[in-house]
Structure 1
Amino acid sequence: MDSKRMELYTALGYRAPKAARLGRTESQLEVEAQELAPLGPEELGALRARFLSEPDEVLYLARESLGAPISELDFARVLQEAEQALRAPEAALEALRHPPFQAKASVRLPPDFRFPLMTAEIPIDPSSTKFEPVADLRGWLLFTGKAWLRGTTVPRAPFRRHDSERHPSRFRYPLREPTQGRSVEVALFSDFGTGEYPARYVARQLLMRGERLDCAVHLGGVYYAGRQGEFDAHVAEPLEPLLPVTTLLTLNASAEMRSGGTPYFRYLDERRGAARARQVQEGSYFCLASERFQLIGLDTAYFEPDRHRDPELLGWLEAVLSEGRQRGAVNILLSHGAPYRYQASRASPLLEDLKALVVDEARVDLWCWGGSPYGALFDRAPTLPFVGASLGHGGLPIARVERGHTAPAPVRFLESRPRFPEWTGLRPELGNNGYVSMLLHADGAVELRFVDWMGNPRCKARLAREGRGPLVIQHLEESSDA
């Protein structure tokens, strides 16, 4: 590839595999052959031709990838910009080095902006628009657009199944039993793999928990396309200090499957290496179990985006849910795909896949998912007999959501604040990023603490059974701090 074009790709957000891995076991060419390649000039021309002949189909694919209503006009404009940039990469690089001063100055941090966790090691640039659906459409186009072309194939990693002789664990692992003096703490976060400052401040909070944090679960989402370099830079590097003291588990997502899942599975193996006794995950689904609790992670991406209907996986899920029910444990389901969404009138196809287990037989007490671009807590409903938590606000720039819209289940908490405090006037259109700290108590109660990227508590909820009844939200306290 032309060196200037590669320099342009890097400036726009392409991440090559970490140099330390190259030459050890695989060359850069071997690693890059196992992932989605950026669009080159010829492929960009092919995408333009497809857009001109099938605009609705291409726009549908783009909107699904970005989760945003990209307009035909914006798409045509960015196609032209991308073609011009690839024709004249040096001029495009010069424009990136010298952005308009007025645009950058209008979104500077106020000099008195501070929060306790703020550090010069993680600089905050409010002017950055990386990964935003429209403002960074050129990046999305170049680094995911190849998936919108007919005939694009990326080698798919072999799927790992629990019943293989290579996995005597059957993907079931022990979870520490909570005691009266020491609850089990689990961090849940999703769509974290961006490398941007909100995600890095989330990682900073997890690292500060140290040995108090028993487990951390990323519910999936490594962007732009789950490449090896993106795993290296956006996931492995910021979370590396966590591995000696905390069990880290990661779920698969549609973004990871754009590169066939090979970098995702490779990262599972690398985590278990280097004598890290706490890193046990072998496949893209798992069950962490104690006597009182089960954390059950699903793969809702490998076979189909946001679906779970492979018969063997359904059989495994039915078995672990049944065992949890038999001993009276709290069954907590984790996935990237969402069973339903805020501002939607109906449940998703994923919930239809699991309807027999989750709805008809009510074997799930709490379902936490990523994928939906906001933080929220939902109550049970007559046709939805589980508490739900949306956690897709870990690192991507997300549009600010407003309260008052409908949802399939009652909304008990919705993260509707902007990313920055309102007094700053900065980026009011962006939603707040964050994660959940989940505490599993010795009495069988579950505590969910929603925390934003700056470390501000946003909502605290206690879930518990009343007698032999279902898990319910007993108490909820939302932060009133500005």
Structure 2
Amino acid sequence: MDRKRMEFYAALGYRAPTVANAETGYSSTKPVPPQPASPEAWELSPLGLEEMSALRERFLREPDAVMALVREGLGAPVSESTFVHVLQDVEQALREPEAALQALRQPAFRARASASLPPDFRFPLMTPEIPIDPSRTKFEPVADLRGWLLFSGKAWLHGVSRQAPFRRHGDALSASGFRYALREPTPGHPVEVALFSHFGTGEYPARYIARQFVMRGERLDCAVHLGGVSYAGRQGEFDAHVAEPLEPLLPVTTLMTLNASAEMRSGGMPFFRYLDERRGASRAKQVQEGSYFCLASERCQLIGLDTAYFGPGRHQEPALLDWLESVLEEGRARGATNILLSHDAPYRDGAPRHTELLEDLRALAVHRSLVDLWCWGSTPYGALFDRTQALPFVGVSVGHAGLPAPRVSSGLTAVAPLRFLETRARFPEETGLRPELGNNGYGSLLLHANGTLELQFLDWMGNVRCTVSLAGGGTGPLRLEALDASE
């Protein structure tokens, strides 16, 4: 890759591969499946000049089709005029990377927006090690359209050309069947599980969430990332945005990660490699071998799904459906609460009907009512939805850990009754900072010895936004017993 062009990519936040050998396997003591020899061979490379020209030509021929790909990839509306302006800007920068670099270094370009923290802005976990810059616009769908175009555009243009070998629970290299033990809660010592998604940005809200996890220490039994490593699930992005901030957790907390469409832009290879890196160095807490799993105790099971490898937002693979059915049935037979975890959602706000994922799992989750609680990460806000006769499970959205997303209002509509919605802005109202951005946060699930569940929504500064008590499940419908939401 041209050196100046590479410098230009790096100046905009591109994370190049940091390892020379991509070989990986289920453990350090077993033979490994053959893998490509270098990270560059399997991860998504930035959009080059020729591909940018091809994208421009395709836009001229099929503007509606290209805009549909862009909007789907961003998950946000982008006007055609904005796209054209950025397309021209990026193509010019790739033709003259030295001039583009010089422009980036100019004070006029680096000038901050009129947004700075008030001098008295404080919260308990605030530290100078994680600086807070309210004017940052990285990963915002429109303000950072140049970054998304350069670092995800190749997948929009060509799709994914290479995929990592898929790992199945029946593979010879795995004796676990992707089923692992979850600690039994005891009176006064519940099992705590952190649920978070779209964490993989490296931005300050995500790092403050990681700081909260680390401060919990051994009290945090398990943390589950429901997927989302931006821009495209590259090795460098996993290294900098996921592995580095979560490294202090690994000796004391079981970390599980799900696959998502962003990870599949690089074919999933960095995702699988990160699983193996976690399991190395004799880390007894790190057990995950594949992209789906079941963590089970006598009274509760956490069941993670891969809704990306075989198609975005789908779960149709017969062998995986059979595995899921057997896990759900076993849990139901012993009266355990079945908690389903996925990146993609069974329903979305504003949509008049359910998603294709719910149709894939309708027999298990709806007709047979084998799912008590379904938590997902694709929708970029915190929310709690009640069960209905047509949707006999409680729904939880926790897709707001790291990505900047527009603030949502209480007018959000869904096919299930909305009981809580995170409607605050990222910064307190009195600061006047970024009122258009939604608040970042995560969910903390407590599994109690008496079989009840407690769910808290917390924001990136550690404020408790909502506390929910849930009872039943396993032997009967999971019910909302109490809800306390902050104003």
TM-score tier by shorter-chain length is over 0.9
2:393 to 386, 403, 417: 386
Cα shift readout 1:124-158 (whole Å, capped 9, x = no counterpart)? 111110000000000000001111224x5532101
Select which of 56, 62, 78 maps to 2:86.
78
Paired residue type of 1:137: L
Q: How does 1:111-260 map to 2 (within 5 A)?
A: 111-150=119-158, 153-260=160-267
Correspondence for 1:405: 412
Is 1:324 aligned to residue 325 of structure 2? Answer: no
Cα pair distance change 1:154/1:180, threshold 3 Å: same
Report whether the alignment pairs 1:90 with 2:98: yes
Task: Give, in angstroms, the shift of residue 468 of structure 1.
Answer: 4.8
Per the TM alignment, residue 330 of structure 1 is displaced from its structure 2 partner at its CA by 0.3
8 Å CA contact 2:335–2:474 kept in 1: the answer is: no
1:369 paired residue number? 376
Amino acid at match of 1:22: A
The offset of 1:404, in angstroms, is 2.2
Give yes or no for the alignment of 1:4 onto 2:4. Answer: yes
Equivalent position amino acid for 2:8 in 1: L
- Does structure 1 conserve the Cα–Cα contact (< 8 Å) formed by 2:23 and 2:36? no
Query: Could you state the TM-score of these two structures normalised by the residue count of structure 1?
Result: 0.96
Seq. identity, %: 72
What does residue 22 of structure 1 align with? 20
Structure 2 alignment gaps of length 5 or more: 25-34
Count of equivalent residues: 477
C-alpha distance in 2 between matches for 1:107 and 1:324: 51
Which range is displaced more, 99-108 or 305-314?
A: 99-108
Which of 290, 312, 318 is matched with 2:319 structurally?
312
Whole-angstrom distance in 2 between the partners of 1:23 and 1:317: 34
Check conservation: 2:260, 2:308, Cα contact below 8 A.
yes
Counterpart CA distance in 2 for 1:30 and 1:405 is 45
The answer to whether the 8 Å contact 1:445/1:465 transfers is: yes
Match of 1:69 in 2: 77
Q: Residues 22 and 28 of structure 1 are in contact (CA less than 8 Å); yes or no, is this contact kept in structure 2?
A: no
- State the 1:246 CA deviation: 0.5
What is the distance in 2 between the residues matched to 1:147 and 1:304?
14
CA distance in 1, matches of 2:183, 2:472: 21
* 2:419 is aligned with 1:417: no
Q: Does the CA-based 8 Å contact 2:23-2:37 persist in structure 1?
A: no
RMSD between aligned alpha carbons? 1.7
Q: Give, in whole Å, the separation in 2 of the partners of 1:255 and 1:23.
A: 22
Give yes or no for contact 1:338–1:369 (8 Å, CA) kept in 2.
yes
User: Is the partner of 2:267 in helix, strand or coil?
Assistant: coil
Contact 1:36–1:154, Cα closer than 8 Å, also in 2: no
**Which consecutive unaligned segments of at least 5 residues does structure 1 have?**
none
C-alpha deviation, 1:164, in angstroms: 1.4
Residue 455 in structure 1 maps to residue 438 in structure 2: no
2:351 aligned residue: 344
1:45 is aligned to 2:43 = no
SS in 2 for 1:459: strand
2:65 aligns to what? 57
